[in-house]
Amino acid sequence: MDRGGIMGTFEILKKLSEAPGVSGSEEGVSKIIAEEFKKYTDEVRVDALGNVIGLKKGTDPSPRRLMIAAHMDEIGFMVSEIEKGFIRFTTVGGVDERILPGQEVIVHGLRPLPGVIAAKPPHLLPPEERKKVTSRDQLFVDVGLPEEEVSSLVKVGDFISFQAKCIKLQGDMASGKAFDDRASVAALIYCLELLSQMKHRWDVYAVATSQEEMGLRGAVVSAYGIAPDLAIAIDVGFGDSPGLSEAETIKVGKGPAIAIGPNFHPLLREALIKTAKELEIPYQIEAIPGPSGTDAWAIQVSREGVPTALLSIPLRYMHTPVETLSIKDIERTGLLLANFISRLEKFPPE
Amino acid sequence: MLLKELSEARGVSGNEEKVREIIREHIKPYVNEISVDSMGNLIALKKGDGSLPIKVMLAAHMDEIGLMITHIDEKGYLYFRPVGGIDERILPGKRVLVGDKAIPGVIGLKPIHLLKEEERTQIVPAERLAIDIGAGDKGSAEKVVNIGDYATFDVAFQELGSRRVKGKAFDDRAGCAVLAELVKEQYPFDLYAVFTVQEEVGLRGAKVAAYAIEPDVAFSIEGTVADDLPKEKDVSPTTRLGHGPAITLMDRSFVAFHPLVRLLVEAAEAEGIPYQFKQPLVGGTDSGAIHLTKKGVPSATVAVPCRYIHSPVSILSLDDFENTIRLMKAALKRLRPEHLKIE
């Protein structure tokens, strides 16, 4: 998968990862995505909930519609109170409170303010408190500025995002924040880029959805608006990591997982597996017996129902600022999607 | 800015070399002699004009808290033990740099989605956490990391506005930067500027340096706890950011020598330098080791207040930093033999 002169997958991922875009305030990242979509699609629009929708037209005279979706929002925080120049906050999405003390953040006030989630030093903790997770009412964001300045720059309701560099690790591994689910957005972009050199019959609607972490809301309205005949959601799945069993996880570096379960249409799943096999793209099977917790869950029951599938990119340490994955898995996901789309004729297949 | 350079340098207790080299280069033009002792303390002598025939030792420690790699498992994860007083709560979800090659890694943990209810409120003990460098297996990890390698937090120095800065290891690189300024002045006495090692694992460098120097008087310059966050109960903060250098009266390691405290206060008031007293019985510094050297050394500690020391990111005020330099200069200028005696 030589990408020639095109910006590499890591660079795209880094750009997406480092941009702010907490659920409900995705503008920081959606601008970048819209620019990328414009390079490879025929039209790009942003709907009422902020979903970025790129349409790449198919060659059929009256093409059917395929929706491919990945969410662009990230978990984060919101200012709830300002006390003596220190900021109290509430969480947006499933933030893991075990990792908060000592994290760097950006408070999106009148200007972006770098800050730290304040951790009381250990010298001053009673021993029993040292073993317990510090509850959020004991934590503050400190932007280091004098009280008056904080009051003039920050107001209740301002969003706060994690501040973390996206870095390369050994081999093809990378780490950063918001890979959930911007790694999948990077796969979408790669898919579109590949499709620009391929023929496809169906209209392809690539959607970077908003507010997934708040209850799949962007997917609900974008699926309604597009009314797809078929849909594939791309999200991250629990990658193997210390403390987790093989049964709970998929393997990082072994390709996207294709999901099986009530949320997914068996024939669509089989068609994806067939493409992966024919092209010898590594893939895994992930059994999801109930709610998938992904955009696929909302899209499947849009309007009169949509045959839906899910591709999962294996990800370690989900919902932390050090989410970790394999860049190759992102490319394999894009490659599988693009080839599936270029082969797509009838659904259900005859 | 020297403070930035020192904050971003990596030097966990026992591995202070990089910090030492930065400081050595920086102070070389201003001192008469420089030596490094067997433990790695950097000792600089600035000779006086002989009018006050005493030896004054100033100490600031170069080492920072960090991690040491103790085990590499079959899958290439690095297990570690803390070096110095690390708060376990702040480890998960952080970026680190491992070994002399500064290999990037992250401390991950089980995702919140897969936690049992009771796990959500318990911190994960350090021995169950691992550093992921993306190695995939033991062999690949061993190509770039060895058992015994030190790891530091990967944090950039940054100006926040209003003369506040954030960065790692202000405890005690702030003190080192103060000391590096102080050696630029000329004093009537022999000044021994000592950049100590291994403070965070038990004030060990200061102990041997003080033994060798036999100072008549000593000052430790620290980056100390500022915990001025709002609290439920009315508890006085240890120190407050932006309220000037903190003078220690008594901490867990020593009782400050009263005439020296008086000297510091007089100097501050004479020159209009803001100062504060550090709340008693919190923390400890190199003075703890120095004052017990041989027959005893009159000692005091002055510190730059730093929020969130012993965590990856701390915050200090450059005004406090500069006022610490001013206060020490003013005090050293006024130092007389009577400050070394208890009346």
Mutate to test the interface with A, among B107, B121, B132, B320 (most CBs of A within 10 A): B132
Residue from the list A101, A124, A320 with its beta carbon closest to the beta carbon of B225: A124
Please provide the size of chain B in residues.
343
pLDDT score recorded for residue A2: 44
CB < 8 Å to B110, chain A: 241-244
Is any Cβ of chain A less than 8 angstroms from the Cβ of B89?
A: yes
pLDDT score recorded for residue A132: 85
What whole-number distance in Å separates Cα of residue B286 and Cα of residue B52?
Answer: 25
What whole-number distance in Å separates Cα of residue A100 and Cα of residue A119?
Answer: 8
- Judged by CB atoms closer than 8 Å, whether chains meet at A174 and B312 is answered as no
Q: A248 by DSSP, 3-state: which?
A: helix
Q: A187 with A232, same domain?
A: yes
CB < 8 Å to A94, chain B: 112-113
- Kindly state the tokens that stand for B299: 């000692």
Tell me the CATH number at A150: 2.40.30.40
Q: Which of residues 287-306 of A touch B (CB under 8 A)?
A: 293
Is any Cβ of chain B less than 8 angstroms from the Cβ of A124?
A: yes
Count how many domains chain A has: 2
Tell me the CATH number at A321: 3.40.630.10
What whole-number distance in Å separates Cα of residue A298 and Cα of residue A295?
Answer: 5
Q: How far apart are the CA of A330 and the nearest CA of chain B, in angstroms?
A: 15
| Longest Cα separation, chain B | 71
Residue where a domain stops, chosen among A162, A194, A224: A162
Q: A100 with A196, same domain?
A: no
Taking alpha carbons only, the member of A231, A310, A268 closest to residue A53 is A231
Q: Does A350 fall in a domain?
A: no
Mutate to test the interface with B, among A75, A169, A246 (most CBs of B within 10 A): A169
Is any Cβ of chain B less than 8 angstroms from the Cβ of A247?
A: no
Tell me how far CA of residue B114 lies from CA of B110, B117, B234, in angstroms. 7, 9, 39
pLDDT score recorded for residue A121: 66
Show the CA angle centred on residue B235, arms to residues B231 and B238, nearest 5°: 100
Q: A267 by DSSP, 3-state: which?
A: helix
* β-bridge partners, A125: none
Q: What is the dihedral of CA B129, B134, B137, B142, to 10 degrees?
A: -90
What whole-number distance in Å separates Cα of residue B22 and Cα of residue B9?
Answer: 9
CB < 8 Å to A130, chain B: 87-89, 123
Q: Which residues of B are catalytic?
A: 199
CB < 8 Å to B136, chain A: 170-171, 173, 253
- Judged by CB atoms closer than 8 Å, whether chains meet at A322 and B93 is answered as yes
- Judged by CB atoms closer than 8 Å, whether chains meet at B93 and A317 is answered as yes
A254-288 pLDDT, tens per residue?
999 999 999 999 999 999 999 999 999 999 999 99
- Measured on CA atoms in the order B298, B48, B203, A122, is the torsion positive or negative? positive
Q: A69 with A90, same domain?
A: no
Task: For residue B149, say if its preceding peptide bond is cis, omega within 30 degrees of 0.
Answer: no
Q: Does A58 fall in a domain?
A: yes
Q: A222 with A80, same domain?
A: no
Q: A225 with A284, same domain?
A: yes
What whole-number distance in Å separates Cα of residue A135 and Cα of residue A126?
Answer: 15
- Kindly state the tokens that stand for A332: 């394999």
Question: For residue A217, with 0-12 CB atoms within 10 Å meaning exposed, 13-18 middle and 19 or more buried, which class applies?
Answer: buried
With a cut of 60, say whether residue B284 has pLDDT above it. Answer: yes
Q: Does A172 fall in a domain?
A: no
Give 10-residue mean pLDDT values along chain A (350 residues). Answer: 59 97 95 98 95 97 97 96 93 92 96 91 72 85 96 94 96 97 98 97 98 93 97 98 92 97 96 98 95 96 96 97 97 98 91
- The distance from CA B216 to its chain's CA centroid, rounded to whole angstroms, is 23
Q: A311 with A225, same domain?
A: yes
Q: A223 with A339, same domain?
A: yes
What whole-number distance in Å separates Cα of residue A193 and Cα of residue B55?
Answer: 72
CB < 8 Å to A169, chain B: 104-106, 132-135
pLDDT score recorded for residue A111: 96
Q: Which domain holds residue A84?
A: 76-162
With a cut of 90, say whether residue B343 has pLDDT above it. Answer: no
Residue from the list B92, B103, B313 with its beta carbon closest to the beta carbon of A98: B92
Q: How far apart are the CA of A294 and the nearest CA of chain B, in angstroms?
A: 13
Contact A173, A322 (CB under 8 A): no
Show the CA angle centred on residue B324, arms to residues B214 and B156, nearest 5°: 105
Q: Which of residues 132-161 of A touch B (CB under 8 A)?
A: 132-134, 140, 142-146, 149
DSSP state string for B124-188: PPGGG--EE-S--SHHHHHHH--TT-EEEE----EEEETTEEEES-HHHHHHHHHHHHHTTS--S
Instruction: Compute the count of residue pairs across chains A and B with CB atoms less than 8 Å apart.
Output: 202
Q: A67 with A107, same domain?
A: no
Residue from the list B104, B229, B310 with its beta carbon closest to the beta carbon of A118: B229
- Judged by CB atoms closer than 8 Å, whether chains meet at B309 and A86 is answered as no
Question: For residue B96, with 0-12 CB atoms within 10 Å meaning exposed, 13-18 middle and 19 or more buried, which class applies?
Answer: buried
Q: What is the dihedral of CA B166, B169, B171, B174, to 10 degrees?
A: -60
Q: A132 with A215, same domain?
A: no
**Domain residue ranges of chain B, discontinuous segments joined by +:** 2-64+168-340, 66-153
CB < 8 Å to A95, chain B: 112
With a cut of 50, say whether residue B205 has pLDDT above it. Answer: yes
pLDDT score recorded for residue B105: 97
Tell me how far CA of residue A76 lies from CA of A160, B82, B249, in angstroms. 6, 29, 42
CATH of B66-153, one of 3.40.1280.10, 3.40.50.300, 2.40.30.40, 3.10.110.10: 2.40.30.40
Which pTM does this prediction carry? 0.87
Residue from the list B95, B122, B229 with its beta carbon closest to the beta carbon of A167: B95
Task: Tell me the CB-side half-sphere exposure of residue B255, using CA atoms within 13 A.
Answer: 2
B316-328 pLDDT, tens per residue?
999 999 999 999 9
- Judged by CB atoms closer than 8 Å, whether chains meet at A143 and B134 is answered as no
Q: A324 with A208, same domain?
A: yes
Q: Reply yes or no on domain B2-64+168-340 having CATH 3.40.630.10.
A: yes
Question: For residue A42, with 0-12 CB atoms within 10 Å meaning exposed, 13-18 middle and 19 or more buried, which class applies?
Answer: exposed
Contact A183, A14 (CB under 8 A): no
Q: A141 with A285, same domain?
A: no
